[in-house]
Amino acid sequence: MENISFYLFDNGPPKKIPGFKKGISLLSFPFWGDYFFLDFTILNWKSVRDDSSNLFIVLEGINDRSLLAVSERLNSGFPELLRLDNGIEVFLDSLKRNHSDYVFLGTSSNVCIIDFNKLFDIAEKANNNIIKLSIGSIPVDLYIAERKELVKLIMKNRRKLAGTDGIIDYLFDRILLTDFTVMENLEGTLFFRNNLMQIYRSNMWLIENIGSVFSLEIQNKLNSIININAESFVSGDGFVRNSVLSSRVEIKGSAENSIIFPGVRIGKNSRVINSVLMSGNNIGDNSLISNTIIFPSINDHLLPETTIGEGVTIGNERSSVINRRYPEQINSGITVLGFNPEIPDGYQVEAGCYIGPDVPFEKLRRHNKLTKGSSIFSGENNDDF
C-alpha cells in the first residue's frame, strides 16, 4: 500500500444544532477556549503529516470571514483547501489526480483524539468495500475506501450531486451512509459529534479534569501546533476558582467552574458559574450567569460594547428544565445564547431558554423576561410566546 489521501469536509455545523449562523465554518469555531475544531484535526493528522500523504479540506457555503479564519490557522500551507461552491467537480478532479491507494473522508463535526496510524491497518481491509468508522463504538461520519472505488461511486452519482445545493450533506447522508458495507471501530476519545449538550459537557469535562495526565497531554499537544498569547488579567477584586481562562481575558468579577474563551470581559461584581463563555463577549457589571453557553460575538465593534448588559440574570444553578423547542439539544437546565448576543440591561433569561443568533436587544425589550424553557429568534414568527 502506498498511502492514504485525507479529505475533511466542512459545510458548517451539523443540522438541527441551535445557536449557529449560516455560513459559519465549524472548523473555525472555538471548542475549548483557545482551541478550534480545526486544531483537533491537525493534531490527529500530525503523525501522518510528513509521510507524503495527501491532505485536503473541502468547504461548501462558508462565508469569507470563516474562510479567512481557517486560512490563518493553516498558515503553514497544510492542508490544501478545496471549495465546492461551483459543484462536485473540484473534489472529483482531486481524487483523479492523486495516486493514493485509499481515501479517508470525514466531516469537521467530529472532535476527537484518535491514533490515525491505525487507519492504515483498517484501510488494508477495504478491498472493494466502503468502510464506515466508529470511535469508542459510536458511529461517526468517517469513511475509508479504495480511491478507485470511490471515484466510481462519485461518477455513478455525479448527476445527483450536481443537482443539489448541499453537496456535502448529500454525499455523506445519501451516498456514503447508504453504500458502506463494513463498519470498523477505531479506539479513541470522542468529544463532539452532533449535539449542543456535548459542547457543554466536554467543556465541563475539561474543568473536572484540570491537571489530569490525559487532559494535560491533549493540551500540550494542541499547544505544540498553535501559538497562543495566554496573557489574561484578573483585577484585585476579581476572583477565579476551578476555571479555565483563555488568552486576552479580563475579569473584574468572578468565574467559578467555567471556561472563559478568548477576548471575554467580565465586569465588576458579575458572577459566571458553571458556564461556557465563548469568544468576544463583554459582560456588564452586576450580572449573574449560571449553567449557560454563550456563543461567540463576532460583530465588529469600534468600542468594547457590552454583549450582556448590566444587572442581567441568565440561567439557574439548580434547574433541570428542558427547552420546549429543542429538548434533545438544550436540556438539564442549560440556557443557550446564539451567535452575537445582545442582552439589555436588567434583563432576565430563565433556565432552559434559547436566544437565537443575531436577536437584537430591541426585540428582547418587548418582553419583560424569557420564561423557562422558551425560545426567541431574530425573525418574527417562530417565538415561543
What are the structural domains of the chain? 4-192 (3.90.550.10), 229-376 (2.160.10.10)
Distance CA 140, CA 108 (A): 11
What pLDDT shows up at residue 1? 43
d(CA 53, CA 60): 23
For the chain (length 385 residues), average pLDDT per consecutive 10?
A: 80 86 89 91 70 75 82 70 88 89 89 82 81 91 92 91 84 92 90 91 94 90 80 89 93 96 95 96 96 90 74 93 95 96 95 94 88 88 68
Q: Are strands 130-135 and 111-114 parallel, antiparallel or unpaired?
A: unpaired
Q: Cα separation of 195 and 180, whole Å?
A: 24
Q: What is the pTM of this model?
A: 0.91
- Bond before 79 cis per omega within 30 degrees: yes
Three-state SS letters, the chain? CCCEEEEEEECCCCCCCCCCCCCCCCCCCEEECCEEHHHHHHHHHHHHCCCCCEEEEEECCCCHHHHHHHHHHCCCCCCEEEECCCCCHHHHHHHHHCCCCEEEEEECCCEEEECCCHHHHHHCCCCCCEEEEEECCEEEEEEEEEHHHHHHHHHHCHHHHHCCCCHHHHHHHHHHHHHCCEEEEECEEEEECCCHHHHHHHHHHHHHCCCCHHHHHHHHHHHCCCCCCCCCEECCCCEEECCEECCCCEECCEEECCEECCCCEECCCCEEECCEECCCCEECCCCEEECEEECCCCCCCCCCCCCECCCCEECCCCCCCCCCCCCCCCCCCCEEECCCCCECCCCEECCCCEECCCCCHHHHCCCCCECCCCEECCCCCCCCC
Query: Distance (Å, rounded) from C-alpha 330 to C-alpha 323?
Result: 6
The pLDDT score that the predictor gives to residue 385 is 64
The residue to which cell 476572583 is assigned: 239
C-alpha separations of 66 from 62, 72, 74, 109, 302 in Å: 6, 10, 13, 15, 20
Residues facing residue 343 across a β-bridge: 308
Name the grid cell of 380: 418574527
Residue 48 pLDDT: 58
Do 91 and 175 form a contact (C-beta atoms < 8 A)?
no
